Each structure stands twice: as structure tokens, then as C-alpha cells.
Amino acid sequence: MKKLVGTFLLALSLGFGVHAQDGNGPKFSAESMVVDYGEVAYKGDGVREFVFTNTGNQPLMITNAKGSCGCTVPEWPKEPIRPGGEGVIKIKYDTGRSGMISKTVTVTTNEVEKSDDAGNPQYKQHVVRITGSVKTPPANDGLPVNNSGAVPTE
């Protein structure tokens, strides 16, 4: 009996793996996998929205989203995205760092990419590239300037 149950569970898990690979299930899709900040002011607005769609036929879950460093922080929806529905990942970049932006956000979903040798599902990860540049800070870095022409005395 144990052998029969084990065989049934193995067949069921393999069936799910094949099911996920044949196009059924959730599917994470986006028009572009790049979020381009363009040129941003130093300490300017560092929040952008990455819009995605579930083009599959089952609910899509974002199980994790992680920035490539602490300066890139994603906030993702915790509720399932219905088939045909859209979701938004808010990405906050620390614009207190001037220069080029070249980061990533790795998004893990409940899409089964494949199964390992034991039949355990391996979930799909999508990489969103973050690009752009942050302008250099003002020369005085925001400190007040003495424009009176007076020479300071000690």
C-alpha cells in the first residue's frame, strides 16, 4: 500500500512539472524587463513602478523580490495576481548616490520552471534591470552660501 501511495504521489508531482512546462499555470510577463530612471536629480524621487501581467491561466504569486544591493529596495504585491491581471512592483533607489545606476531586482514567482531529480519544483526567477543616472550633488551640497561679498573675520 505504501508503495502504491508513493508511486501515486510521484506520478502526481511529475504531472505538475509537465503541467507547468506545457504552458499551463501562472506566467509572469512584462513589456520590458528594464526600469530606466533616466537622469534623476541628486536626492530626487527614487521610486519607480514596474508593471507586470499574469498571462497564464492560474494565479501568479510573487514569493520574493530582492535588490542587488541595499540601495535598491523592491516592494511587491503579497496577494495573488489573477490570470490576465496586472501587478506593480515599486522599486526605490537611493538617489543620494550620484553616478550611473546599474542594478537588478530578482523576482521569484510560483511559476514552476522544472523539477529536480526528487520531483521537487524549481521556481522561476526573473531579473529586472535598473538603469539611469543620478546627477552630481550641488557644489555646496545644499549648505547656505554667503553672497554678501563680506570677508569673514575671525
**Residue 34 in domain:** yes
Cα gap 81→87, rounded to integer Å = 7
Cα gap 26→114, rounded to integer Å = 14
Q: What is the mean pLDDT of the chain?
A: 85
**Residue 142 in domain:** no
Q: What is the pLDDT of residues 79-120, one digit of tens each?
A: 999 999 999 999 999 999 999 999 999 999 999 999 899 989
Confidence of residue 138 (pLDDT cuts 50, 70, 90): confident
CATH number of domain containing 51 = 2.60.40.10
**Residue 71 in domain:** yes
Q: If you write DSSP's letter for every residue of 52-92 in order, what string do you get? A: EEE-SSS-B-EEEEEESSTTEEEE---SPBPTT-EEEEEEE
Q: What is the pLDDT of residues 56-65, one digit of tens each?
A: 999 999 999 9
**Residue 66 in domain:** yes
**Residue 140 in domain:** no
Residues spanned by the domain of 121: 2-134
Which cell numbers in the block locate residue 73? 529596495
**Residue 95 in domain:** yes
**Residue 152 in domain:** no
Confidence of residue 55 (pLDDT cuts 50, 70, 90): very high
Task: Provide the pLDDT for residue 19.
Answer: 45
**Residue 139 in domain:** no
Cα gap 120→112, rounded to integer Å = 10
Give how many domains the chain has, as a whole number. Answer: 1
pTM of the predicted protein model: 0.75
